[in-house]
Amino acid sequence: MRYGRTVPVTEPAELPQAPAEAQAVFGELFPEAVRYAELLADAGVKRGLIGPREVPRLWERHLLNCAVLSEVVPEGVTVCDVGSGAGLPGIPLALVRPDLKITLLEPLLRRTNFLQEVVELLGLDHVTVVRGRAEEVLGKLQPVHVVTARAVAPLDRLAGWGVPLLKPYGEMLALKGDTAEEELNGARAALSKLGVLETEVLQVGEGLVDPLSTVVRVVVGESPGGVRFAAKRAKAARTERTRRRR
């Protein structure tokens, strides 16, 4: 008789205790940040929203890495987190910046269900969850001051989705890795066609995260997305107004 090999059962990774920096970053909402980390480590892993190997480094690599993005987000603006996934960076940003109005934009139902549960559980009244792709909500979603994203797509493709959602003179903030400068240089032609006027690579989180979080910042001019997207946005807006009248 032949027997199959026994597959070892992997024990779920344990969420480590929050580092001291987390208390400093999240302040009064530190308990909510801990609850979010627990949800990611449990339901987030079970639903396939985050890999089990990420659990031991949830605080440093994910929550704090995203929360320090707040250093470069202007006060009191509207934000759209494109491809929000499990809520990174949108939810950590919401926890440290109650002055912002944040939309978590995500196309997959299982992810939007998780996001809605998290928003309600943590009492994040300034956060809205929207299911859809960036290109689908163009003209339906109110243009925002800031678009955020993390680990969604290469910069040129990400800009094609995110930049058209901006208000005139708005900015996109993309959390990137060590190759941020290289990626930015390779995307300059595409960014120019999308109406981007300024670009820079920023390091944030001094004294809070190691390594520092790298952010690519792109600022648009009067026509976010360029001429082609201006026409597309106007057409989508007209269609939406007609639908509401019916």
Tell whether residue 88 is among the known ligand binding residues.
Answer: yes
32 is an annotated ligand-binding site residue: no
Does the annotation place 183 within a ligand binding site?
no
Q: Annotated binding residue at 135? A: yes
Long-range contacts of 152-159 (CB under 8 A, 24+ apart): 152/82, 152/83, 153/83, 154/183, 154/187, 155/183, 155/184, 155/186, 155/187, 155/191, 155/216, 156/186, 156/187, 156/190, 156/191, 158/82, 159/187, 159/190, 159/191, 159/194, 159/196, 159/218
Buried b (16+ CB within 10 A) or exposed e, 191-210: bebbbbeebeeeebbeebbe
Q: Which residues make beta-bridge pairs with 18?
A: none
> What is the Cα–Cα distance from 145 to 141, expressed in whole angstroms?
12
> Which residue ranges make up the annotated binding site?
83, 88, 134-135, 150
> Which residue ranges make up the annotated binding site for S-adenosyl-L-methionine?
83, 88, 134-135, 150
